[in-house]
Amino acid sequence: MIADAVVDEVASGQVRRFDKGGEAFYDQISALHKSVRGSSPDGALYWLCRMLDGGCDALYIARRVVRMASEDIGNADPRALEVALNAWQVQQRLGSPEGELAIAQAVVYMACAAKSNAVYTAFNQAMDAAKKSGSLDVPIHLRNAPTRLMKELGYGKAYRYAHDEPGAYAAGETYLPDELVGTRFYEPVDRGLEIRIAEKLAQLRALDEAVGPEPEN
């Protein structure tokens, strides 16, 4: 027989809709992620608390928060990943409630941080290229040469050690397989630290162009 207290709770509408592994579970973690991505600290806190109040494993949330730091903030604010990892570690070491508060701090920081999915996009594009291009050879100047035979075959012979170059940059040097030279995966956004990263890459590419045109794919 169902206890009267349970019947009263259900009738009052106070039962939390949270089925670990069910639709409500994934809806709520999705809402948390999208609140962080959408720069809403209030939304992020609410959905975090809904999940914790519903009995979600805080370590699961912490792991997902780490992904948010790389997927949606990336190099626009690299500190976000450190904050997320620290929160995960606090939860592992101290448990509740200290760990939950650290996770709350992380999601608020991340919601307020500059956003960039440039690394996430570049990683997916590079992975797709790696899968589709097959086993392309490592350019001979980038190969390791631990044996005399390899040295005689020219492995690593034309490699330019960047630290010996002006500004520690070997202008015109290539690091992709020959078939992919000129391909760009990472394109920084105009937010946060990636503004500076984009400026640096533009300077380096200008040096490359001064040396000579990039070979086509």
Residue 197 is assigned to a structural domain of this protein = yes
* CATH number of the structural domain spanning residue 46: 1.20.272.10
Domain that holds residue 70: 13-112
The b-or-e profile of 72-83 (16+ CB within 10 A means b, else e) is: bbbbbbbebbeb
Q: Are residues 101 and 154 in the same domain?
A: no
Q: Are residues 137 and 200 in the same domain?
A: yes
Residue 4 is assigned to a structural domain of this protein = no
Q: Are residues 50 and 105 in the same domain?
A: yes
Two structure tokens written together for 217: 């794919």
Q: Are residues 18 and 100 in the same domain?
A: yes
Instruction: Provide the residue type at 60 as one letter.
Output: Y
Instruction: Provide the residue type at 173 as one letter.
Output: E
Q: Are residues 101 and 165 in the same domain?
A: no
Residue 87 is assigned to a structural domain of this protein = yes
Residue 137 is assigned to a structural domain of this protein = yes
Q: Are residues 74 and 31 in the same domain?
A: yes
Tokens 């699961």 correspond to 60
For residue range 132-191, what is the model confidence (pLDDT) as tens digits?
998 999 999 999 988 889 988 898 998 999 999 999 999 999 999 999 999 999 999 999
Q: Are residues 170 and 81 in the same domain?
A: no
Domain-terminating residue out of 112, 137, 171: 112
Domain-terminating residue out of 112, 136, 154: 112
Q: Are residues 33 and 89 in the same domain?
A: yes
* CATH number of the structural domain spanning residue 171: 1.10.3710
Task: Specify the number of domains making up the chain.
Answer: 2
Judge if pTM exceeds 0.85: no
The b-or-e profile of 108-124 (16+ CB within 10 A means b, else e) is: bbbbebbbbbbbebbbe
Greater model confidence, 27 or 6:
27
Instruction: Report DSSP letters for the chain, one per residue.
Output: ---HHHHHHHHHT-S----TTSHHHHHHHHHHHHHHHTT-HHHHHHHHHHHHHTT--HHHHHHHHHHHIIIIIGGGSTHHHHHHHHHHHHHHHH-TTHHHHHHHHHHHHHHHS----HHHHHHHHHHHHHHHH-SPPPPGGGS---SHHHHHTTTTTT---GGGSGGG--TT---S-GGGTT-------SSTTHHHHHHHHHHHHHHHHHH-PPPP-
For residue range 104-134, what is the model confidence (pLDDT) as tens digits?
999 999 999 999 999 999 999 999 999 999 8
Q: Are residues 103 and 182 in the same domain?
A: no
Share of residues in the chain with pLDDT > 90 (%): 79
